[in-house]
């Protein structure tokens, strides 16, 4: 769904640009290609990492890990699983909803969703390429800490 929006915006902008200045448009496309080619090695690396991680941690295994977890350890496990997986929201939200119905805790689910979105261990090679090791690693650690805090907050609000 959001990919369609992205295509509509990109194509609209491209057409608009093309009618205003053909030369600039072809320059933009060249730059787009160059930027893509620049990150391609990291892209391919991430692809392999994601494939291996998601084969081991498939939805079933994740459900088992998160379903069992309770208390602080559950939150910790949930946030770690979220940190090393890469699942789009439209798959993660219904999965989390199903887990909640089968008895998983709200706090654990929030920890999973928050770290899934904010922390990207497998995409680190790409992040480092643009932001350097220091910023990339620090950002991921902070985001991971934060996902645990967010989990307790959302768990508390939902329980009110």
Partner 1 sequence: MNKALKRYIPTIIVALLFIGFLVLFPQWRGKTVQSITVQMKTMLLVIPPIFILLGLLDVWVPREQMITLMGEGSGLKGPILAFLLGSFAAGPLYGAFPFAAVLMKKGASFSNILIFIGAWSTTKIPMLLFEIASLGTRFALSRLFIDIIGIIIIAWAIHGSIPKQEITRLYDQAKNID
- Closer to partner 1 by CB, 46 or 80: give it: 46
- Closer to partner 1 by CB, 68 or 133: give it: 133
Smallest distance from partner 1 to CB 4, Å? 9
User: Cα torsion for 139, 38, 20, 3, to the nearest 10°?
Assistant: -60
Residues 6 or more apart whose Cβ sits within 8 Å of residue 107 = 74, 75, 151, 152, 154, 155
- The count of other CB atoms within 10 Å of the CB of residue 65 is 17
* Tokens linked to 2: 């959001």
- Closer to partner 1 by CB, 48 or 73: give it: 48
Smallest distance from partner 1 to CB 146, Å? 4
Smallest distance from partner 1 to CB 140, Å? 10
Phi, psi of 69 (to 5 degrees): -60, 130
- Closer to partner 1 by CB, 38 or 71: give it: 38
Smallest distance from partner 1 to CB 68, Å? 20
């Amino acid at each position: 769904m959001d990919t369609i929006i992205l295509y509509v915006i990109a194509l609209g902008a491209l057409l608009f640009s093309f009618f205003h200045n053909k030369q600039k448009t072809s320059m933009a496309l060249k730059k787009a290609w160059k930027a893509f080619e620049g990150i391609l090695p990291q892209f391919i690396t991430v692809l392999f990492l994601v494939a291996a991680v998601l084969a081991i941690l498939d939805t079933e295994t994740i459900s088992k890990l998160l379903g069992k977890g309770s208390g602080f350890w559950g939150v910790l496990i949930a946030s770690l699983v979220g940190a090393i997986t890469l699942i789009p929201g439209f798959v993660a939200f219904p999965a989390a909803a199903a887990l909640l119905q089968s008895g998983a805790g709200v706090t654990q689910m929030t920890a999973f969703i928050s770290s899934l979105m904010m922390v990207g261990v497998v995409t680190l090679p790409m992040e480092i390429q643009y932001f350097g090791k220091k910023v990339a690693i620090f950002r991921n650690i902070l985001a991971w800490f934060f996902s645990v805090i967010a989990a307790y907050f959302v768990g508390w609000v939902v329980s009110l």
